[in-house]
Amino acid sequence: MDLIRIGDKVVSLSRISNFTEQMLLARSQGLSQQDVAKKFSVDRSFVSRLETLGELRKGRSIAVIGFPIANLKDVKQLCQELGVELCWVMTNEERWQYAQNRNGIELINEIMDLANKFRQFDCVILLASNARVRLMAALLDNRVVVPLVLGETPLNTDVTVDIEALRQTILSVAETPSTKK
């Protein structure tokens, strides 16, 4: 139910959600906490507390790329849990469908667009075969690239990712000198 009665007040959960979303989007677009507070007529400390309530982690922006992955659901769930901004993982079948549903020029253009998109991140964790990891690292230029090699090229079957190893990798690369304890 969207409405909640608190004493003699009726409160709309969707209104609260929309309001806080607008405030946080304004923050993500570069407005200071003070500017957001003024714009939405709230205290600056309220804006700070909202950010703290929703914070998943501090540190670098992280993306995870991986294929062919057997435990996609577990990898995606972990990435969401740890605040990984972009998780792009596929099974072997999905990888082949992705490639076969495009002509050569479309595929090259999409790969270059994806590489450009991944270049926006401070760190990219690569889950792939040894040769694919080297190729993807080269496409990403000077970014911090952390390879988790799933096996020798070619990999023609899905590989189960060690979730705890991936968790530790994400946590370690998420830390920056200012966030390490």
**Per-residue pLDDT tens over the stretch 96-122:** 999 999 998 999 999 889 888 898 888
Q: What token pair was written down for 71?
A: 């435990």
Q: How confident is the model at residue 165 (pLDDT cuts 50, 70, 90)?
A: very high
Exposed, middle or buried by CB within 10 Å (0-12, 13-18, 19+), for 13? Answer: exposed
pLDDT at 140: 83
pLDDT at 7: 92
Give the mean pLDDT of the chain.
Answer: 89
Count of residues in the chain? 181
d(C-alpha 50, C-alpha 173), whole Å: 25
Is residue 149's pLDDT more than 50? yes
Q: Which amino acid, residue 52?
A: T
Q: What token pair was written down for 156?
A: 């023609």
Instruction: For residue 6, list its beta bridge partners.
Output: 9
- Kind and range of the H or E element at 81? helix 72-81
Question: Are 89 and 66 in contact, with CB atoms under 8 Å apart?
Answer: yes
Give the burial string for 68-104 (b: 16+ CB within 10 Å, else e). bbebbeebbebbeebbbeebebbbbeebeeeeeeeee
Q: What token pair was written down for 26?
A: 């304004």
- Cα end-to-end distance, the chain, whole Å: 42
pLDDT at 79: 96
pLDDT at 71: 98
- Kind and range of the H or E element at 47? helix 44-54
Is residue 91's pLDDT more than 90? yes
Mean pLDDT throughout 56-60?
63
* pTM over cut 0.75: no
Is residue 39's pLDDT more than 80? yes
Is residue 33's pLDDT more than 90? yes
Is residue 144's pLDDT more than 90? no
